Chains A and B, each alone.
Chain A
Amino acid sequence: MIINHPLLGPRDSSEFVYLGDASLMNRPQWKGEEADLVKTEETIKQYHDYLYLRNNPAGEHQELWYHEQGDRSWLVVTRNTTTHNISQVQMAKDVALKTLREK
């Protein structure tokens, strides 16, 4: 697979390390207070879902790739898991900033 790096152009995917679903960027905020047990349990559940559950779709998948043997940037790659076809590659930083701005 060739990943079209936004800064470096087309690079072989074997230069990258794969982390997984890009939703890993959206870590839940730790809001629970010790005293507020219900809230804490809710937060634990949120963390559990964030850390352990995946959509794992057959089709378009947004995922995190780390350019370890390159410029060490994190990328968000949109790839089809049934064809391996890559439709979009963005810098993870840009995606994160965009999400922040939209909040």
Chain B
Amino acid sequence: MRYSALKVIKESLTGHKGWKPVWRSPEPKKHYDIIIVGGGGHGLATAHYLSSQYGIHNIAVLEKGWIGGGNVGRNTTIIRSNYQLPENQPFYEYSMQLWEEQEKDLNYNTMVSQRGILNLFHSDPQRDAYVRRGNAMLMSGADAQLLDQNGVRELYPFLDFKNARFPIKGGLLQPRAGTVRHDAVAWGYARGADSRGVDIIQNCEVTGFQIKDGVCTGVKTTKGEIKANKVAVCVAGSSSKVMSMAGMNLPIESHVLQAFVSEGLKPFIPGVLTFGAGHFYVSQSDKGGLVFGGDLDGYNTYAQRGNLPVVEDVCEGGMAIMPAIGRAKLLRKWGGVMDMSMDGSPFIDRTSTKGLYFNGGWCYGGFKATPASGMCYAHLLATDEAHPKAKDFKLNRFLSGKMIDEKGMGAQPNLH
């Protein structure tokens, strides 16, 4: 079923009775060319691009819960390509370009909204660092503009520019950045993949791998054993748990990140805004709620809930730049488990087990990467060669010394 304006009008006149589920709920077959473990954004995007770009259709996506129930449905929906290393920035810019054509590609309204992201700076050295970052962005083909205080005032007149501790001196703007409706991304990719024959199997947890003589030939699941030529793991926060079943220890720790939504307010935040001196980033959803977040709780956890000190920290960050929101009520908060890597960068790679592939380590920035991650993982699975945009996302980079440590924090995952 293709969506069109005509179809919407027809349905609204006939009581919306013609809408059907947009993916099937099949039972698993005995054998697939490729099994993707994890029906999050990345797993579903991989299935979509494998079937649409690489002509492989005999694929299953195995999801232990329901698709969209993981981080893809828990994030604060920000997309941007404002990184600065040669190993990561071209990848994120590629992702941005895929976002720009996503709705057309999927024939699905994912509400890609390029409303711009503004990273505030509060001191002269920070401005210099942002100039450098902006230049790195421009060199990768992305867009970047440096705004002085007046430039920021035009966009956000209500900010606390004269804050005694962290006065706002300007900001780095990426106009093409923005937000995307996160669960629509999962559903859109699922629909695309399903329409080309991919089996999306929910409530099917992978409980082990079938590995013999260093070759992976399938998985064990709560719905029985399933064989495959290739098994592609893509389980975000559960990466260590799942890969340990294949006997692997990863350069990853699991940490919780919380997100918050306020009561609905009239539109007053036009884009995405980040505090440069603390942990706070915010945008306003189409329903009017302020969607915001901050830092990790900071300790290993698999519980999808955080603690109160971070709530306080995030709210203080918000009050430091926009005291106007002080009376708004916090409506909801939740947490998601992040696969925090040792250098803050991801992995899209084979493993030492033949036929077993790994995609993970996306930290708290993997939503923006969804399209490019799916495309590059699909490329790796189809051709057994790394995609040129993701060739440095290797599992052995800590041994070879080629870390991609944008923040320069070292092997301390909770600081990336």
Contacts and interface: CB of A to CB of B under 8 A. Distances in A.
Contact of A1 (B251, B307, B411, B412): B307
B254 A56 contact: yes
Interface residues of A, number: 27
Interface string A48-60: 1101111111100
Contacts of A19: 412
A74 B301 CA distance: 20
B378 interface: no
A54 B251 contact: yes
A70 B253 CA distance: 26
A53 B241 contact: no
Contacts of A61: 300
Interface residues of B, number: 24
A20 interface: yes
B399 A84 contact: no
Contacts of A44: 399
B249 A81 contact: no
A82 B342 CA distance: 21
B399 A58 contact: no
A55 B240 contact: yes
A44 B309 CA distance: 39
B300 A20 contact: yes
Contact of A81 (B244, B252, B301): B301
B251 A52 contact: yes
Contact of A58 (B249, B302, B342, B413): B302
Interface of A is mostly: mixed
B398 interface: yes
Contacts of B411: 51-52
B214 interface: no
A49 B249 contact: yes
A20 B298 CA distance: 9
A83 interface: yes
Given A48-B399, A55-B240, A82 B302 contact: yes
Contacts of B414: 18, 20
Contacts of B302: 58, 81-82
B250 interface: yes
27 contacts: A1-B299, A13-B307, A14-B309, A18-B299, A19-B412, A20-B253, A20-B414, A21-B253, A21-B300, A44-B399, A48-B399, A52-B251, A53-B250, A54-B252, A55-B244, A56-B240, A56-B252, A56-B300, A57-B240, A57-B241, A58-B302, A63-B299, A63-B300, A81-B254, A82-B301, A82-B302, A82-B303
Interface of A: 1, 12-14, 18-21, 44-45, 48-49, 51-58, 61, 63, 79, 81-84
Given A20-B413, A54-B240, A55-B249, 18 more contacts: A13-B309, A14-B309, A18-B414, A20-B412, A48-B399, A49-B249, A52-B251, A53-B250, A53-B251, A54-B249, A54-B250, A54-B251, A55-B240, A56-B300, A58-B254, A63-B300, A84-B301, A84-B307
